[in-house]
Amino acid sequence: MNVKTQVLKEGMPVGSFYGYKFEGFKSDGTWMYRTPIGGYVSSDNAVESYKQVIGNAQPWFTFGWNNSIRWKNLDASIFFRGVVGNDILNLTRWAYGPLANVDGNIFMKDVKANEVTYANKALFSDYYLEDGSYMKLDNFTVGYTFKCKEDSYIDNCRVYFTGQNLLTITAYSGQDPEVNTTGVWDAGIDYPSFYPTVATVLLGVNISLF
């Protein structure tokens, strides 16, 4: 399947998703799309001229918040970051959506109660676009410094815990909403082969000598 999902034109932002605007399903499972001039057509009657800009991979804004505190011998720092307002093409969901002749290896999210919702993979629509906004707890560190005796060779000893990528808050149904948003050719596309960022934790000790 070779389907174009984005358009690059003068005056339009990079990462503009271009396809059909999904309107809903009929009772028999037929996909319906909205035309640019109003009205709806079925998947069998959708033509190239009905395609339109249906989303964008560029976020409205990105943000980061870092804070450090210290109280007596205790110290802590926390860093959040995220993006707001971008769209992600969930290719995994598109590839493994339900089909009329396949009853396994599919997203349960797309299985309808009446069991007549069939994915028309030949047509790209905003049905497979999702809000890519997220906020991540990118780094959290907490430590405690112990003062040593004056007659020892050690001035102080700091024990600390550091965690990275500990928490992600998002409505995106894929593995990780942190996808490429700046590439010219594939901005905002979450490929099935993408390996998500892992969480890491570290426990350490810093020793200061006289």
What's the average model confidence in pLDDT over 158-180?
Answer: 94
Q: How far apart are CA 14 and CA 186, in angstroms?
A: 10
Which residue range is the domain that position 181 belongs to?
A: 6-209
Whole-number CA gyration radius for the chain: 25
Note whether residue 1 is domain-resident. Answer: no
Q: pTM of the full predicted structure?
A: 0.84
Asked whether residue 88 is assigned to any structural domain, the reply reads: yes
Q: With cut-offs at 50, 70 and 90, classify the pLDDT of residue 25.
A: confident
Give residue 65's pLDDT: 96
**Confidence bin at 182 (pLDDT 50/70/90):** confident
State the amino acid at position 168 in one-letter form. Answer: T
Nearest in space to 23 (alpha carbons), one of 33, 35, 10:
33
146 located within any domain: yes
Contacts of 196 (CB under 8 A, 6+ apart): 175, 176
Per the prediction, the chain carries an average pLDDT of 86
Euclidean distance between CA atoms 174 and 192, whole angstroms: 9
* Number of structural domains in the chain: 1
Does 102 have pLDDT greater than 80? Answer: no
Please tell me the predicted confidence (pLDDT) of residue 111: 61
What integer pLDDT is reported at residue 195 of this predicted model? Answer: 81
**Element containing residue 92 per DSSP (H, E):** helix 91-95
Query: How many H-runs (helices) and E-runs (strands) does the chain carry?
Result: 1, 14
